[in-house]
Amino acid sequence: MKKVINHPDHVVEEMIQGIVTAQNESLKRLPKTNVITRSDAPIQGKVGLVSGGGSGHEPAHAGYVGKGMLDAAVVGEVFTSPTPDQVLEAIKAVDSGAGVLLIIKNYTGDVMNFEMAAEMAEMEGIQVEKVVVNDDVAVEDSTFTTGRRGIAGTIFVHKISGALAEQGASLKEVKRIADKTIENVRSMGVALSSCTVPAAGKPSFSLAENEMEIGIGIHGEAGIERIPMQEADKIVNILMEKILQDIDYVKSDAAVLINGLGATPEMELYLVSRQVQQLLQDKEIETYKTWVGEYMTSLEMAGFSITLLKLDEELKQGLKAASQTLAFPVSYDK
């Protein structure tokens, strides 16, 4: 597998350097860490939001650091949770006295390390709350998780909780809105090809030319089943059937996120979006807004995920609020 790298062992370090130098007006790196923060952090009186995870999912997570979303992202090695010490440094860097919320995707390593960091921060007198995102409806347990995995629906949690934190809400209120978002968001993905971790130098798994894997995880974890390759509309129908079975979206508004996993052309993602909109219309579900692009990838995996967020007026306000981030800029606040 050809990759544009210098050395497998230096990929994450050099990527962080590249992100910070490219975005030096809005982002900064804590010295001797893999922590990227807002350039203006900590912000007096504001609840700090921290998330993170393994590299290889770009633009997650540093792409969501900025006004209206995260205050810091902790960058782990490829598909590997950041260490508790690194997470602790992020917590300390963004705490202004109002407390810190950790937004954790439901993977065993992430949950364990972020929880350890929270305990260490509390020992230093910092108030910390945690939420765990588990939006993937594909599988209940996997080799990486107990319960459902956290995938691209995490972006909506960053956005909505970040909006409330930016408005000066308390830690209790920011955690409440994050939990509410998690309760109402569901996702599911499909893979058409594998990905290659730089240090491994070979695909993480294999799919035949005429195969696809339904319910794949963002680290290449097994999904529900492998089936023959289908037309775009049929793939969407399979994913949407399971998502729509999990929450009653009928006669409600929904936000939609069509997320490429790293190697799917925008042309194809818009075909997916087209069919999603048709299915929602058929079921009398109003589409509030749709985002199409790459938001949480899996290196160069071909495939996509679909995320639906069931909305009420409070969650809509969080999506409307302005944000200034590399991967999720929102310029209006109506």
Tokens 């590399």, residue? 326
Cα angle value 224/235/197 (rounded, 5°): 60
Q: Which of 7, 61, 158, 219 is labelled catalytic?
A: 219
Cα angle value 215/220/221 (rounded, 5°): 65
Q: Which of 7, 57, 61, 158 is labelled catalytic?
A: 57
Residue whose C-alpha is closest to residue 151's, from 41, 316, 319, 305: 305
Q: Across the chain, how many H-helices and E-strands are there?
A: 8, 12
* Helix, strand, coil share (%) of the chain residues, nearest 5: 35, 25, 40
Active site residue 158: no
User: Which residues on neighbouring strands pair with residue 301, listed in sequence order?
Assistant: 262
Cα angle value 233/183/47 (rounded, 5°): 120
Q: At what angle do helices 266-282 and 232-246 cross, to 10 degrees?
A: 50
7 class by beta-carbon count within 10 Å (0-12 exposed, 13-18 middle, 19+ buried): exposed
Q: What single letter denotes the amino acid at residue 279?
A: L
**For residues 330 and 246, what is the distance between their CA atoms, to the nearest angstrom?**
29
3-class secondary-structure state, position 330: strand
**For residues 264 and 113, what is the distance between their CA atoms, to the nearest angstrom?**
32
Active site residue 219: yes
State the DSSP H helix or E strand holding residue 36, giving kind and residue range, or none if neither: strand 35-38
Give the number of other CB atoms < 10 A from CB of residue 334.
6
Catalytic residues, by residue number, are 57, 219
